[in-house]
Amino acid sequence: MVSPAPFWGAPTSYLNFCEEDYAITRYVAEFINTLSSFVYIVYGLYGLHQLHKRGQSGPRSIPYCGLIGVGVCSAGYHMTLKYHTQMSDELSMHLLTTPLLYRILSFQATPQYTKAAGSILSILFTIVMVVHMVMDEFLLHAVSFGTAVLVITIRTLRIIPREIRDQKVRGGVSRVALFGVASFAFGYFVWLIDEFACGVLLSAREVVALPVGFLFELHGWWHVFTAIGGYIAVAIIDLITSGEVERDSVEKLAWPLPVVGKVLGDGVGETETGGEGKRK
């Protein structure tokens, strides 16, 4: 039987990942990569919901909207595998990191420094995107995005001990932040496996068949783990820069972070303080 023609036509994006195109339905090029992109949207909506519950919005909602944007653009890209949707996906990554960079770099800064940081970030964002889209220069996009993630990570981990005086609260936030770093790093690790061991993964999927074969769609797992890491970055930076870190802050974060904070907290508390971490 001849398979129906792909709804979106032949791929025009210059990246194609280790998932068979249109294997599930003619309407979605990469089914698991598209479906897993919705994890970003779920985390972004949860963050917006938490802000709404506290009666807060405005600029604080921008990074959560950025997280939603990454999910929407990623899903559109993997669903169609078109050049213009690939560009929107890569653009959305910078639309998430740039506001986070601005917020973390301008935190407690002078008005002059804040203005300069905003201007420089705007110029850099424009240069990266214009060069990337006009010249198809992928390396600049990848390096600038990786650098932004690195700066956000280092800056946030330095600010946490300085701004959170309560030892127990500081420990919980730090552990969640480090879990976010580990999630992002692991996501990148499985992305590399998906890129360089595609033949092995395809063979494994044929052996185990569906639905177990979906577990070997590693680019989809990259989406899941980077969505967790991205949400943690947005949520932790929002808590710190807004000055609203409380004793139950970790418990109010999206799953699985309350569990992570509790499990890691109990272990660290017993090991480092000999049970002192459990005292009220």
Tell me the per-residue pLDDT of 204-224, one tens digit each, with 9 for 90 and over. 999 998 889 999 999 999 999
Please determine, for residue 103, whether its predicted confidence score (pLDDT) is greater than 80.
Answer: yes
Residue at 10 is within a domain: no
Stated pTM of the model? 0.90
* Exposure class string for 187-196: b at 16+ Cβ within 10 A, else e: beebbebbee
Predicted local confidence at residue 3, as pLDDT: 61
The more confident residue out of 127 and 136 is 127
Residue at 11 is within a domain: no
Predicted local confidence at residue 266, as pLDDT: 58
Q: Which two tokens stand for residue 126?
A: 């424009």
Residue at 175 is within a domain: yes
Predicted local confidence at residue 133, as pLDDT: 81
Q: Is 49 annotated as a binding residue?
A: no
pLDDT above 90 coverage of the chain, percent: 70
229 Cα distance to chain centroid: 5
Average pLDDT of every residue of the chain: 89
Please determine, for residue 273, whether its predicted confidence score (pLDDT) is greater than 70.
Answer: no
Residue at 12 is within a domain: no
Tell me the pLDDT tens digit for each residue of 137-171: 788 888 999 999 999 999 999 999 999 988 888 99
**In total, how many domains does the chain have?**
1
Q: Residue 25's pLDDT band (boundaries 50, 70, 90)? A: very high
Average of pLDDT values for 49-66? 89
Residue at 139 is within a domain: yes
Predicted local confidence at residue 280, as pLDDT: 35
Question: Which residue segment(s) compose the domain that 192 sits in?
Answer: 31-263
Please determine, for residue 275, whether its predicted confidence score (pLDDT) is greater than 70.
Answer: no
Q: Residue 115's pLDDT band (boundaries 50, 70, 90)? A: very high
Q: Is 223 annotated as a binding residue?
A: yes
Please determine, for residue 268, whether its predicted confidence score (pLDDT) is greater than 70.
Answer: no
Predicted local confidence at residue 263, as pLDDT: 78
Q: Which two tokens stand for residue 56?
A: 């807060």
Please determine, for residue 272, whether its predicted confidence score (pLDDT) is greater than 80.
Answer: no
Distance CA 79, CA 82 (A): 9
Average of pLDDT values for 106-129? 93
CATH number of the domain encompassing residue 132: 1.20.1070
Residue at 23 is within a domain: no
Q: What DSSP assignment string belongs to the chain?
A: -PPPPPTT-S---S---SS-TTSSBTTBSSHHHHHHTHHHHHHHHHHHHHHHHTT--GGGGHHHHHHHHHHHHHHHHHHH--HHHHHHHHHHHHHHHHHHHHHHHSTT--HHHHHHHHHHHHHHHHHHHHHHHHH--HHHHHHHHHHHHHHHHHHHHHHHHHH---HHHHHHHHHHHHHHHHHHHHHHHHHHHHHH-HHHHHHHHHHH-TTGGGGG-HHHHHHHHHHHHHHHHHHHHHHHHHT---TTTGGGSPTTHHHHHHHHHHHHHHHHHTTGGG--
Q: How many CA atoms lie within 13 A of 98 on its CB side?
A: 22
Distance CA 277, CA 167 (A): 9
Tell me the pLDDT tens digit for each residue of 14-23: 888 999 999 9
Q: Is 94 annotated as a binding residue?
A: no
Going by C-beta distance under 8 Å and a sequence separation of 6 or more, which residues neighbour residue 201?
A: 18, 193, 194, 216, 218
Q: Which two tokens stand for residue 257?
A: 């972070």
Please determine, for residue 271, whether its predicted confidence score (pLDDT) is greater than 80.
Answer: no
64-68, 145-149, 188-192, 240-244: least confident range = 240-244
Residue at 257 is within a domain: yes
